[in-house]
Each structure stands twice: as C-alpha cells, then as structure tokens.
Amino acid sequence: MLPFARISIIGVGLIGSSLARAIRANMPTVRLTGHDADPAVRDIARRIDLFDDVADSAGAAVTDADIVILCVPVRAMGSVAREIADDLPADAIISDVGSCKAEILASLTAALPGRTIIPAHPVAGTENSGPEAGFATLFNGRWCIMTPPADADPTAVERVAELWRRVGAQVETMDAAHHDLVLAVTSHLPHLIAYTIVGTAGDLESVTRSEVIKYSAGGFRDFTRIAASDPTMWRDVFLSNKDAVLEMLQRFSEDLTALQRAIRWGDGDALFDLFTRTRAIRRSIIDEGQDDPAPDFGRKHV
Amino acid sequence: MLPFARISIIGVGLIGSSLARAIRANMPTVRLTGHDADPAVRDIARRIDLFDDVADSAGAAVTDADIVILCVPVRAMGSVAREIADDLPADAIISDVGSCKAEILASLTAALPGRTIIPAHPVAGTENSGPEAGFATLFNGRWCIMTPPADADPTAVERVAELWRRVGAQVETMDAAHHDLVLAVTSHLPHLIAYTIVGTAGDLESVTRSEVIKYSAGGFRDFTRIAASDPTMWRDVFLSNKDAVLEMLQRFSEDLTALQRAIRWGDGDALFDLFTRTRAIRRSIIDEGQDDPAPDFGRKHV
C-alpha cells in the first residue's frame, strides 16, 4: 500500500525536484503537486513535467494533500508554513528535508500549532541547484534521518519513513538536537572548511588565481565541489545550526593547531600516525556503501 | 623522435607505475627498467609486467639509462641518489616526480654534484598507492611543473618536457621556491585540512564513528578520499615544505576565524558573499578541463 496518495512539494530545487522524480519513478500512481516561490522555476517545472500540477501559490498547492514536504532553505520554512496554514487539510502531515532539525521543528510548530509535523532529512545532494539539477536516484542507498517530536503519532512517522524507503533511502530516527550535532560534523563543518579554503586560495597575493586553477588536481579541486553549493541554503544552515557548528569548529581548530605544531617541530611520527588512522575511515565509508569504491570518486581519466 | 631510448624508474608506487604504463602505451619502443626498494613490490612489478627489466638494486637499474626518474617519497630522494651515484652514466639526466622541489633539488645536487638534474612534478594522483594502483592515463590533461635550476641545459629541459607531453601532460616551468608555494595551496594545505577533519570526526565523544560513516554523504566523505593518501609520502611533504605550508595554514586560519566570527554574530551577508565567490572558482576549474564536469565528481548514483 502506498504511504500517501497525494503529495505536495513546496520548493523545487535540487532536493524537491529529485524527490518529485523519485516519487514518479517509484510510485507512479501518486498525485504530485508542486510549487516554488520563483515563477521562473515554476515555468521550468511545468516544461519538464515534474508534477501533475504546478500551483501558483503555496496555499493552492496543499489544499488536497495527504502530506506536504517543504524543500526550501532552512530559514524559509517558517514563512512557508505560515503561508499554507489556512489551506492545509486538517489531517495532512507536514514534513521537510532541511539540514537543521531543531530550529525547523520549532518554527513549524509555531506556525502550525496542533498539526502533525514529522521532520526528515535525506543526507544526499550534489553541488548543483535548481529544478533541472535533480535526478530520481539521488536518494538510493543514502540515509534519511527522521526527527519526530517525542509525542508524534507512530503511524504518521511510519508513513513518512515508508515514503523515504520507497524512493531508495534507508531510514534512521534520532532526536533533533543529536541530528544537528551529527550533521555539524558530517556535513556543515566540511562545507564551512571547503568554503574557507576556496576563499583563501582565491585571495592570495603570492599565488595567482590562474595557478590555483591549473594545479588544482593536487587536491584543491576536491574542495571546490562542495564550495559550489547553493549560497542561500548554506547561509541558512550556518545561522540555524550555529551552536553545534561552532562547537565542531572549535574541535577542528584544536586539532589543526596540534598538527601545525607537529609540522613546526618536525614531528614526523605524529604526522604519520594521524595519516594512518584516517585511511581506515575512508575504508569503512566504502565498505558501508556510502561512497564510490572507484579511485578518485570514479572521475574519468581519459 | 623519442626524447629518450632507455628510461629507468626508481620507486614503483602509484606515480612510478603509472609513468611506466604511460610510457609503454605512448612510446612502446622505449626500453624501460624499474627498481623498488621493497622486494614484494619488485615481485608484483615483474608479475604484472610493468618493465622490460626489474633490477634488484637501484644501481643496477641505472647503468644504461638515458634518464633516471626518481618516484620515491620526497625525503628518500637524497639517499636513492647516493645509491645510484657510482652506476649512473655520465650523460644521464636525473629527474624526479616529488611534490616539494626546493629541498629535492638541494638533496639531489648534493648527492650528484655536476650531474644534469631536471626536477619535475606531475600534478596528478589518486588516493591509492602501490604498483597496482597506477594507470596509463593518469597524466592526461594534467599539468607537469618543471623546476630546472637556472643554469640547466635547455636541451635536457626540453627532452624531459617532451617526455611528459608524450604521456599526456601539459608542461609549465617555474622556479622551485614558487612551485613550493603554489603547491602548498593547491595540494599540501588541502591534504593537511582533510587529514585534520577526518581525524577530528573520528575522535569525538558526542558523535559515534558509526554515525560519521553513515551520514558521510553530507559532505564529509569528500575529505576522506585525500585523507586516505599514502602516509609516508605525505609525512615527507609536510616536513619538506614546512615554511610554505605553515604560511598557507596561517592564511587559512585567519579566514576561518573571520568566518567563525560571522557565524557567531549571525552575519548572513558575509556568509552569502563568500559562498557566492567560491562558486566561480569551481566553474573555472571545470572550464579549464581540470575536473570532471559531471555532478558529484561523476560518482555513480544507481
């Protein structure tokens, strides 16, 4: 049995459009409605036929929904929730795909008191943005973390979990605060560091930008991928998950200082020990199917 | 005309074995001799037929060479050079593929006074190590930076450049000190940061290692690739290019502190501005053919 017959997606970027495609591919009988605040995005969504119906307002997109999934930047969640409040069917579930669950849960609860709110976060993406960047297999084998409130209806939680399993994800549940700490280290800190180093490299007087680009295959280019991610989405993530990000950043800075000291003092053993330990983590990620086993991420060398 | 008829490669890891394969593929009439200090690596090299001849000592590998290319860790260059000094033909060129040119040039010059030393550095690699990790197309489209001493024989420089062009690389020339500064930012600092963050993430009390691995697709897994690189090679790089690495690390730390402050103070505009600038660098790297244009490095999503 399908978990939902009528699904509305608000926000048609990489994740919203991938979810629409994945639902079409895996549950073709679901009636899909979409809306994006940007009229140009709505036009594209219509042209490439992402939904059965593209509504011109968020309210109109939710009137007959069984579930509404908000796929907008973290700090836009509250206002979108307020926009749909009057049109939302009484028994509809509200969910989202945002990267910072504590703040989102608070803002959705404030905007939609008494409603069934079941937040979720599919840990998947690419550096590309917009309705044409999405693809149906984005969630295959990835984890979707659900952070239902303590008093959430178990049936509603299970229906949302089943939706994510149907589009290829594995589902895990934890509380919002722990989610935000885990994602601070597995996603937010890596993005922050990538943005920083790409900024640093683009802004040196002793090495030209052209040299940085030419010789980027020495390792730097890896960081430019996630540093090309959507600026609005990521600004919101750092503002929203501030405390956890600052905590992880503090830990990282301490470790970086220790390594800096090892280099300054020529402590080769300390360097070698760390460089050996880190190899094992890569191995585990590949063993658990969370990265491509091919060398160099499977980049083409032709 | 072939730049060299008899090429000896000392050190049969990722780069040495890729170079051997690329020479075989592009200049099949070259006589190729190889040597590795590790008998197990020599056995593999023989079994997979990387060379016309695998010599059991470095000296025996160079007796009839037109060029000897040292493909060993940076800090092993000097001792290998001393090992071959007595067997090296008078007119043979010595080259290498190391990542830190100033120290290597000094140690090769000290070990082989009066010889023709033409250092080079192909900016290419994967996270894998050893003779079986290499492949013939590794250098295709990548840059090889040559750092000949000021008084180097131009004909010798051109022959080495032609060798690298024949295996698919583009060639650029600069002085060793500038090379070391450029690579500190495009290669050494990225590796240092990747090693650090993978170490940090593996060593938290609030987030388990299992959680780090499961949710690594949020961005973290990108860093684990280069943090899986060869520990000996990278220990040597950081010890050898200490000053330039510490200088770039200082710049990075200043920028990271500024970003930390922007997060702490909720300065969304500063975050948004940086995140917009960094996108352009990714675009340029792809436009100049230095990374795969496919989303997510071309990782398989199936």
**Cβ-defined contact of B281 to A126 (cutoff 8 Å):** no
- The ipTM is 0.95
Residue A301 pLDDT grade (very low, low, confident, very high; cuts 50, 70, 90): confident
Contact call for residues A124 and A142 (beta carbons, < 8 A): yes
d(CA A12, CA A188): 22
pLDDT at A36: 98
The torsion of the CA quartet B163, B167, B171, B173, rounded to 10 degrees, works out to -40
pLDDT at A37: 98
pLDDT at B301: 81
Residue A240 pLDDT grade (very low, low, confident, very high; cuts 50, 70, 90): very high
Burial class (CB in 10 A: 0-12, 13-18, 19+), B205: exposed
Contact call for residues A227 and A198 (beta carbons, < 8 A): yes
Alpha-carbon torsion A263, A267, A268, A271, what sign? negative
If one counts every other C-beta atom within 10 angstroms of the C-beta of residue A50, the result is: 26
Chain A / chain B CB contacts < 8 angstroms: 366
pLDDT at B197: 97
Token pair in block for residue A262: 């090892």
Query: A291 to chain B: which residues are within 8 Å by CB?
Result: 216-217, 221, 224-225, 299
d(CA B91, CA B118): 13
Minimal Cα–Cα distance from A129 to chain B, Å?
Answer: 10
Minimal Cα–Cα distance from A271 to chain B, Å?
Answer: 6
**Cβ-defined contact of A197 to B182 (cutoff 8 Å):** no
Alpha-carbon torsion A288, A294, A297, A298, what sign? negative
Kindly report, residue by residue over A21-51, the tens digit of the pLDDT: 999 999 999 999 999 999 999 999 999 999 9
Minimum Cα–Cα distance from A139: chain B residue: B301
Q: What angle do CA B216, B208, A187 make, to 5 degrees?
A: 30
pLDDT at B1: 87
The CA–CA distances, whole Å, from B109 to B37, B59, B112, B270 equal 22, 18, 5, 49
pLDDT at A74: 97
Contact call for residues A262 and A271 (beta carbons, < 8 A): yes
Q: Does the structural domain A178-290 have CATH classification 3.40.50.300?
A: no
Kindly report, residue by residue over A244-287, the tens digit of the pLDDT: 999 999 999 999 999 999 999 999 999 999 999 999 999 999 99
Q: What is the pLDDT along chain B (302 residues), one digit of tens a residue?
A: 899 999 999 999 999 999 999 999 999 999 999 999 999 999 999 999 999 999 999 999 999 999 999 999 999 999 999 999 999 999 999 999 999 999 999 999 999 999 999 999 999 999 999 999 999 999 999 999 999 999 999 999 999 999 999 999 999 999 999 999 999 999 999 999 999 999 999 999 999 999 999 999 999 999 999 999 999 999 999 999 999 999 999 999 999 999 999 999 999 999 999 999 999 999 999 999 999 999 999 998 87
Query: B136 to chain A: which residues are within 8 Å by CB?
Result: none
d(CA A104, CA B4): 65
In degrees and rounded to multiples of 5, residue B183 shows phi and psi of -70, -25
Q: Give the predicted TM-score (pTM) of the model.
A: 0.96
Token pair in block for residue B168: 């698919």
pLDDT at A1: 87
pLDDT at A2: 94
Minimum Cα–Cα distance from B218: chain A residue: A187
Contact call for residues A125 and A102 (beta carbons, < 8 A): no
pLDDT at A88: 98
State the Rg of chain B over Cα: 21
Q: What is the DSSP letter of A76?
A: G
pLDDT at A300: 87
Contact call for residues A207 and B185 (beta carbons, < 8 A): yes
Domain parsing of chain B, residue ranges:
6-174, 178-290
pLDDT at B302: 73
Q: What is the DSSP letter of A94?
A: E
Kindly report, residue by residue over A129-177, the tens digit of the pLDDT: 999 999 999 999 999 999 999 999 999 999 999 999 999 999 999 999 9
pLDDT at B56: 98
pLDDT at B290: 95
Minimal Cα–Cα distance from A134 to chain B, Å?
Answer: 10
**Pick from B183, B255, B260: CB nearest A215:** B183
- For B6-174, CATH number? 3.40.50.720
Minimal Cα–Cα distance from B289 to chain A, Å?
Answer: 9
The CA–CA distances, whole Å, from B246 to A212, A218, A221 equal 18, 18, 20
If one counts every other C-beta atom within 10 angstroms of the C-beta of residue A266, the result is: 11
Token pair in block for residue B10: 């000392």
**Cβ-defined contact of B263 to A232 (cutoff 8 Å):** no
Same fold, A6-174 and A178-290: no
Token pair in block for residue B228: 């899986």
Kindly report, residue by residue over A50-82, the tens digit of the pLDDT: 999 999 999 999 999 999 999 999 999 999 999
Residue A212 confidence (pLDDT) above 80 = yes
